[in-house]
Amino acid sequence: MDAMAAGGFTITRAVQSRSWPASSANLEYAAVWGTKGPVDDAVPRVSDGAPVKRISTLLEPAGRVEGIPVRLAENQGIAYIGCYVLGMGFVITPDEAQEWIAADPRNAEVLFPYLNGEDLNSRPDASASRWVIDFNDRTEEEAKTYALPYGRVLERVKPERARNNRKPRREHWWRFAELATGLRATAAKLPEVLAIARVSKTVMPMRVPTGQVMSEACVVFASADFGDQAVLSSTAHQLWAITYGSGMRNDPRYTPSDVFETFARPAATSRLESVGRTLHSERQEIMLRRNLGLTSLYNLVNDPAVDSGGDPDVARLREIHVELDDSVMDAYGWPDIDLQRGFHVFRQVRRWTVGPAARVEILDRLLEENRRRRGWEGRGLEAKPGQTGLAGRAAEPDPVFGDVAPRYHCDATGRGND
């Protein structure tokens, strides 16, 4: 669709995804109508049955900004995909782990809780339900000194790896397929990190302790900052992830390179830090008290049938997210956006979120900010924390937008910059 649009095709009507009629299979289709050549703005456009001003190549209502976001240097070295184990023989039960450690305390050096995406989303304390044998980058001779763990991997992993097409995975069969060395080095400096399931309709991070192995089903953010937790829990970040991540069935798939590394974060504020703490502490108390995982809890939050007056916990969580989104909009310098909070459908999922017009405007401004910051990076410039637009650099035209009046806050904390 990007190629067609670049060739002059204008979409005038679209169905993003709809069930195939009279079919017993779980089949979805998309449909596009349009024309090649200039189209007057007066020509009506319809997206999924609703009149809109424009339709994007993603087949949804579009704003005034077009194009694909680019990666920002300021976001490098923060978001990582967890370890790709490749071999169920590495995975053991918690009871086995404790028995092996009791048999030889040295085994604790290679046995760790193993956190996956399902644990993050389904367990009230977001704890690991299984453990894993992790020899990290040890040689085979070093691995042999841990008799019980090595024996298990020798028996159950080596035969499977012997059939692998990739030579390093065959020859280093006692190690994980991908060690996630960057994640390990960064997380080792922190007591906690933020983690989000790669496939999840909630698109909501959880705070988890380090000292455990995060699976490749998790995206891990090397930060324990409550302000970062607020931003990553915001509607702005959720919309960005749903729009620019990939999809798996109807659930968004979080891809760090396309989502986080392109996401223009707002400047840090004390208000963000405060609401991030509130979200973590009060949500954790609700989940533990009611024995609810993250997905189950947000199913209640996003359900119009769950009346706030009848469920004070749901009412409180909705209230916190209102404060959180307001704090994020203020941090960006966008308090003028009318968020129109309510129950709205986006990408076939009904959520308690911002309205369609607010969604388009937020995504427009985030994409503009992405390009603006990329322009600064291209010139070797850095904005100052809390600085808006090109303030302080008025003599230099923006490389993308030219002489544009400064409007937006930008994050220039320098995190992740070379």
Interval 81-109 mean pLDDT: 97
As a whole number, the mean pLDDT across the chain is 87
* 321-373 confidence digits (pLDDT tens): 999 999 999 999 999 999 999 998 887 788 999 988 899 999 999 999 999 99
Element (H, E) at 46: strand 45-47
Q: What dihedral do alpha carbons 65, 69, 70, 73 form, nearest 10°?
A: 100
pLDDT at 269 over 80: yes
Tell me the domain boundaries of the chain: 2-52, 79-220, 236-360
**Per-residue confidence band for 247, with pLDDT thresholds at 50, 70 and 90:** low
Q: According to the model, what pLDDT value does residue 392 have? A: 26
- Is pLDDT larger for residue 40 or for residue 268? 268
pTM: 0.81
Interval 382-409 mean pLDDT: 33
Burial of 245-279, coded b for 16+ CB within 10 Å and e otherwise, reads beeeeebbbbbbebbbbbbbbbbbbebbbebbebb
* 105-138 confidence digits (pLDDT tens): 999 999 999 999 999 999 999 999 999 999 999 9
Interval 148-171 mean pLDDT: 96
| Residue at 240: amino acid letter | W
CB 117 within 8 A of CB 81: no
